[in-house]
Structure 1
Amino acid sequence: MEKRRVVITGIGGVTPLGNTIEETWEAIKAGKSGVGPLTRLDSDQYPAKVAAEVKDFNIEDYIERKEARKMDRFTHYALAASIMAMKDSGLVIDEKNAPRTGVWIGSGIGGMETIENQMDVLNTRGVRRISPFFVPMIIPDMASGQVSIHFGAKGINSCSVTACASGTNSIGDAFKVIQRGDADAMITGGAEAPITRLAVAGFTANTALTTNDDPTTASRPFDKNRDGFVIGEGAGIIILEEYEHAVARGAKIYAEITGYGATGDAHHITAPAPGGEGAARAMEQAIQDSAIQPDEIGYINAHGTSTPYNDLYETMAVKSVFGEHAYDLAISSTKSMTGHLLGAAGGIEAIFTALALKESVLPPTMNYGTPDEECDLDYVPNEAREKELTYALSNSLGFGGHNASLVFKKFEG
């Protein structure tokens, strides 16, 4: 059976760089940073002093306060980003197409802020004061559920929970739903709101976060002096459609998704497999699924967390997959500007990759100051660059050994 083509027709996001994709993308191209002092929490209690926080966001700009109070912050971000993406796409869901329109939005940890707040209620006010919305607010699939309810999308409604690969796995899974003919359109991506007491304490305890207190250099992927990631938050949502469906309604098209790869390390709960073996297989799968050759990839939006092992092993994985072509590739980590949005990272980075193709521009890796002799590829250091691209790839790698890669193609009709 011939595979159906899948294209991106709408984008929306809430990020540390801005509460719209337009604002965020302009900041990315300009090399601006969304990293700043940790203000959501009492920073004196944590070794990590910086974070990539969403700023001046108000969910009541999108839904009524009464409904917003029944949702955790991560769902707020997902719903706002979905509303923006749907508006951008021009897609209208009605009784006729609702069963053929689905939602697949991932989140790594879901409603952590609600868990903490309700535990405080339990300890100070007792069992009977726990919110009846507590469970629906915390479960990671509720972003997808609330988006489905808001738009009346009655197709498949799912959520991939694969740590920092959640957004990319969700998009890949949604892509396959359309490709095999089970839906004509999907609202998909990732959302996360992990800047909470317990989450930051947990990432501090396993030494994943940077202890660099300078926001201008804290997130420095592939730099020799990198020492951990900057925790971030937000959501990135895209609208996927079957190509003929999009064309029939005159939709604008940002890019095409042509391949998806997903693998497991079977190695360690937090450390990547030596040499990036699992990540390499995910990239190989995505390229094979696209029916292209590795040397047709011109750009990689790397997972690039600014942690010692991830950046080294991802570099090794790229060399394993691409051979000599690895040195001709442009590779960048937009986490140098957004911080690490965990389960939302793949959603927002899919948008960046699609826009890089559409506008023929390579996002930079900022804060790159000291080259690492073991990370010796072209990381587009410190300044965006113009480049004509046909194919690009985006990687996401998560705790638990989850690896996911997507291949995007410049749309040419």
Structure 2
Amino acid sequence: MKRVVITGAGTINSLGHSVPETLDAMREGRCGIGQLDFRDVERLAIQIGGQVRGFEAEGRFNRQQISLYDRFTQFTLTAAEEAVRQAGLEFHGELAARSGVVLGTAGGGVSTWDDNYRSVYEDGKNRVHPFVVPKLMNNAAASHVSMQYNLKGPSFTVSTACASSNHAMGLAFQLVRSGAAPVMVTGGSESMLCFGGVKAWEGLRVMSKDACRPFSANRNGMVQGEGAGIFVFEEYEHARKRGAEILAEVVGSAMTSDASDIVMPSKQGAARAMAGALADAGINGDAVGYINAHGTGTAANDKTECAAVADVFGPHADELMISSTKSMHGHLIGGTGAVELLACIMALRDGVIAPTIGYEEPDPECALDVVPNEAREARVDVALSNAFAFGGLNAVLALRRI
């Protein structure tokens, strides 16, 4: 088994258009959630979200590219550019032939779906753009990344609702660790903040109208976000030999299924995923200092996740720091685990724990150290990133400081 390290990171989300901007916002406990701005938003009951502001596709992509790139693909390519640039890699020859890309998204080209349904059903048009299918397909972003960087190895997309990114990164980790690929570009993206995307989520009645307050007794639901997080996972010796800067080491992953309910989370499934990631890493639970929680701000998720943490870590659970950055950037659905991995890297590399903002009232069913409202300085050697999706599909990553 080979060691796997992260040598590049990139992001765009409601907190910032780059990793430094995003981490600065996390340190400051800044909130990227605000009033949504798109067509027909006034018809929605939910009008807030973690929307990416100030992003102009026209200034970044040419007309032909815009005709092919849904917003989720635009976010992916923007974040990938930052990640690959930081990694300092160029893909030619054998490295290009064996390296690949695996990304997560839940909805793919939701904005393209929305625009073209409107065109046909509302405007009465009988024809859509010939690139609608390649624009909206879930694998579009992965395919464009592979073409952009000449990645000819294993490349595909994972779609497992809110665990999509963590499943994708877990698979990328396994591909590099097994020796199947020396480098994998991985992460995820989502852009559901359009009329249809928000209206669909409204139907579930799990959305907050005012704020995301994970673990707080007065929490009243989740808030959607959008954006992307992209990373370069690289075999350790390959990175060391070329003198690459290493952000963190990925040491374990696990995936479980609740096999019980399509929307209600299971304590047992979450616990098995966390315990499985530790076992895969060969790490004792006492070594973990920080968990980036799934922490959606719904009553069901938060108390279930806290109960699972207590089961896995026992008395050590009281010493753990656990926070949800969804309180700042919103829930990026299939892209959420990728953006949240940045908080784990910041904890390991910089010794700064991102806070759970919006925390107002203690909940006895969430009686853990949730790092309320303000970032904290602390040395962390091992961190976990949790993702627990609708459908009962769970994926947890374990990272170590290096």
| Pairwise same-fold verdict (TM > 0.5) | yes
RMSD: 1.1
In 2, distance between residues paired with 1:318 and 1:40?
39
Alignment of 1:305 onto 2:304: no
Residue identity opposite 1:304 in structure 2: G
Indicate the residue corresponding to 2:83 in structure 1: 85
In the TM superposition, residue 94 of structure 1 has moved relative to its aligned partner by: 1.3
Indicate the residue corresponding to 1:233 in structure 2: 226
In the TM superposition, residue 332 of structure 1 has moved relative to its aligned partner by: 0.4
Indicate the residue corresponding to 1:215 in structure 2: none
Indicate the residue corresponding to 1:249 in structure 2: 242
The partner residue of 1:202 within 195, 200, 203 is: 200
Q: SS in structure 2 opposite 1:195?
A: coil
Q: Structure 2: which 5+ residue stretches go unaligned? A: none
Residue identity opposite 1:257 in structure 2: V
The partner residue of 1:375 within 366, 374, 388 is: 366
In 1, distance between residues paired with 2:302 and 2:104?
23
Alignment of 1:271 onto 2:264: yes
**Is the CA contact (8 Å cut-off) linking 1:185 and 1:239 kept in structure 2?**
yes
Please give the residue correspondences for 1:63-212 in structure 2 after superposition, counting only pairs within 5 Å.
63-123=61-121, 124-127=123-126, 129-212=127-210
In the TM superposition, residue 198 of structure 1 has moved relative to its aligned partner by: 1.4
In 2, distance between residues paired with 1:49 and 1:322?
38
In 2, distance between residues paired with 1:132 and 1:111?
15
Alignment of 1:296 onto 2:295: no
In the TM superposition, residue 61 of structure 1 has moved relative to its aligned partner by: 4.4
In 2, distance between residues paired with 1:27 and 1:350?
15
Q: SS in structure 1 opposite 2:74?
A: helix
Residue identity opposite 1:310 in structure 2: N
Indicate the residue corresponding to 2:53 in structure 1: 55
Residue identity opposite 1:26 in structure 2: D
**Is the CA contact (8 Å cut-off) linking 2:250 and 2:398 kept in structure 1?**
yes
In the TM superposition, residue 53 of structure 1 has moved relative to its aligned partner by: 0.2
In 2, distance between residues paired with 1:282 and 1:391?
16
Residue identity opposite 1:155 in structure 2: G
In 2, distance between residues paired with 1:297 and 1:331?
10
In 2, distance between residues paired with 1:68 and 1:20?
21
In 1, distance between residues paired with 2:68 and 2:271?
41
Residue identity opposite 2:173 in structure 1: F
**Is the CA contact (8 Å cut-off) linking 2:347 and 2:379 kept in structure 1?**
no
**Is the CA contact (8 Å cut-off) linking 2:67 and 2:131 kept in structure 1?**
no
Alignment of 1:262 onto 2:255: yes
Residue identity opposite 1:280 in structure 2: A
In 1, distance between residues paired with 2:299 and 2:333?
17
In 2, distance between residues paired with 1:410 and 1:47?
43
Q: SS in structure 1 opposite 2:170?
A: helix
Spell out, residue by residue over 1:185-233, the C-alpha distance to the aligned partner (whole angstroms, 9 max, x if none): 0110010001111121111111121122xxxxx0110000111111100
**Residues 39 and 60 of structure 1: is their aligned pair in 2 closer, same or farther, counting only changes over 3 Å?**
closer
In 2, distance between residues paired with 1:408 and 1:41?
41
In 2, distance between residues paired with 1:233 and 1:82?
16
Greater than 6 Å deviation, 4+ residue runs: none
Q: Which moved more, 1:174-183 or 1:88-97?
A: 88-97
Alignment of 1:387 onto 2:375: no
The alignment of Structure 1 onto Structure 2 pairs a total of residues equal to 401
Spell out, residue by residue over 1:135-192, the C-alpha distance to the aligned partner (whole angstroms, 9 max, x if none): 1111111110110011110010011100000011100000000000110001100100
Spell out, residue by residue over 1:65-98, the C-alpha distance to the aligned partner (whole angstroms, 9 max, x if none): 3212211110110111001110111111113311
The partner residue of 2:316 within 320, 325, 347 is: 325
In the TM superposition, residue 12 of structure 1 has moved relative to its aligned partner by: 0.2
In the TM superposition, residue 58 of structure 1 has moved relative to its aligned partner by: 2.3
In 2, distance between residues paired with 1:116 and 1:81?
24
Residue identity opposite 2:318 in structure 1: Y
Q: Structure 1: which 5+ residue stretches go unaligned? A: 213-217
The partner residue of 2:11 within 13, 17, 32 is: 13
Alignment of 1:283 onto 2:278: no
Alignment of 1:354 onto 2:345: yes
Please give the residue correspondences for 1:36-51 in structure 2 after superposition, counting only pairs within 5 Å.
36-51=34-49
In 2, distance between residues paired with 1:376 and 1:196?
36
Spell out, residue by residue over 1:252-309, the C-alpha distance to the aligned partner (whole angstroms, 9 max, x if none): 0000000001001111111112xx1111100011000000111111100000000110
In 1, distance between residues paired with 2:392 and 2:158?
14
In the TM superposition, residue 125 of structure 1 has moved relative to its aligned partner by: 4.9
**Is the CA contact (8 Å cut-off) linking 1:238 and 1:351 kept in structure 2?**
no
**Is the CA contact (8 Å cut-off) linking 2:346 and 2:353 kept in structure 1?**
no
In 1, distance between residues paired with 2:260 and 2:320?
28
In 1, distance between residues paired with 2:314 and 2:39?
45
**Is the CA contact (8 Å cut-off) linking 1:6 and 1:256 kept in structure 2?**
yes
TM-score (norm: length of structure 1): 0.95
In 1, distance between residues paired with 2:268 and 2:209?
28
Give the % identical residues. Answer: 42
**Is the CA contact (8 Å cut-off) linking 2:38 and 2:195 kept in structure 1?**
no
Q: SS in structure 2 opposite 1:131?
A: coil
In 1, distance between residues paired with 2:343 and 2:63?
31
In 2, distance between residues paired with 1:286 and 1:40?
40
In 2, distance between residues paired with 1:70 and 1:121?
17
